[in-house]
């Protein structure tokens, strides 16, 4: 049983790693790709995703990613990108989603694709560039970060039993209900931020 945080990808080599993402799909068009150092997931009227195999657990683990959501592009109600952790039962999952049409960041733990207690906040592309779903000691958390280093807890909920299953799958998924197709981009999946080199100048006082 592998912890979800052991799956990592920087998407820098321009080639989809089929060992890490064996279940990629698009129900309506071109397959997801890598380009420009990011995962590129088509955002069209189908559903497209980078998708892992179903071989992970979320218990005492996490999934995090740097997200660049699609544009609204004339969609009626939905043009979104999600970090999705799904159980083996379709619609039983946890998501953190950015919807470009509503301008909201949505956080949910769903059964039959619905969470009556789902929470939202106004999306800030700077403050919410990094997104994380984590589980610790029976509690599920949704966190955001502007730099991938300092995190803000945005929601907490009692963990559903399925977080401890050993057959969970993670998806970097996108969809729109109309308008102009484009892409959602993702980067640095479960990877730490590379520190910025210091530009300080030191004077030799010897």
pLDDT score of 92: 99
List, in sequence order, every residue forming a beta bridge with 38; answer none if it has no partner: 35
Please give the radius of gyration of the chain, using alpha carbons only, rounded to the nearest integer: 17
pLDDT score of 195: 53
pLDDT score of 48: 99
Q: Are strands 182-187 and 139-145 parallel, antiparallel or unpaired?
A: unpaired
Q: How many CB atoms lie within 10 A of CB 116?
A: 7
pLDDT tens, residue order, the chain (206 aa): 799 999 999 999 999 999 999 999 999 999 999 999 999 999 999 999 999 999 999 999 999 999 999 999 999 999 999 999 999 999 999 999 999 999 999 999 999 999 999 999 999 999 999 999 999 999 999 999 999 999 999 999 999 999 999 999 999 999 999 999 999 999 999 998 765 554 544 445 44
**Domains of the chain listed by start with CATH number:** 2-187 (2.60.120.200)
Quick check: 21 and 169 in contact, CB under 8 A? no
pLDDT score of 73: 98
**pTM of the shown model:** 0.93
pLDDT score of 202: 46
pLDDT score of 60: 98
pLDDT score of 193: 75
Q: How many CB atoms lie within 10 A of CB 161?
A: 8
């Amino acid at each position: 049983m592998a912890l979800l945080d052991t799956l990592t990808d920087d998407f820098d080599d321009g080639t989809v790693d089929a060992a890490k993402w064996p279940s990629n799909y698009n129900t309506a068009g071109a397959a997801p790709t890598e380009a420009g150092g990011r995962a590129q997931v088509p955002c069209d009227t189908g559903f497209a995703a980078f998708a892992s195999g179903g071989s992970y657990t979320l218990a005492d683990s996490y999934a995090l990613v740097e997200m660049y959501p699609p544009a609204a592009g004339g969609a009626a109600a939905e043009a979104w990108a999600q970090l999705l952790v799904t159980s083996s039962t379709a619609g039983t999952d946890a998501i953190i989603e950015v919807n470009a049409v509503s301008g909201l960041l949505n956080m949910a733990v769903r059964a039959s694709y619905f969470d009556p207690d789902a929470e939202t906040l106004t999306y800030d592309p700077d403050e919410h560039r990094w997104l994380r779903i984590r589980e610790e000691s029976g509690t599920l958390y949704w966190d955001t970060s502007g730099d991938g280093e300092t995190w803000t807890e945005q929601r907490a909920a009692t963990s559903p039993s399925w977080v401890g299953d050993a057959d969970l799958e993670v998806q970097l998924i996108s969809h729109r209900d109309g308008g102009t197709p484009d892409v959602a981009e993702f980067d640095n999946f479960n990877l730490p931020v590379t520190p910025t080199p210091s530009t300080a100048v030191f004077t030799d006082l010897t």
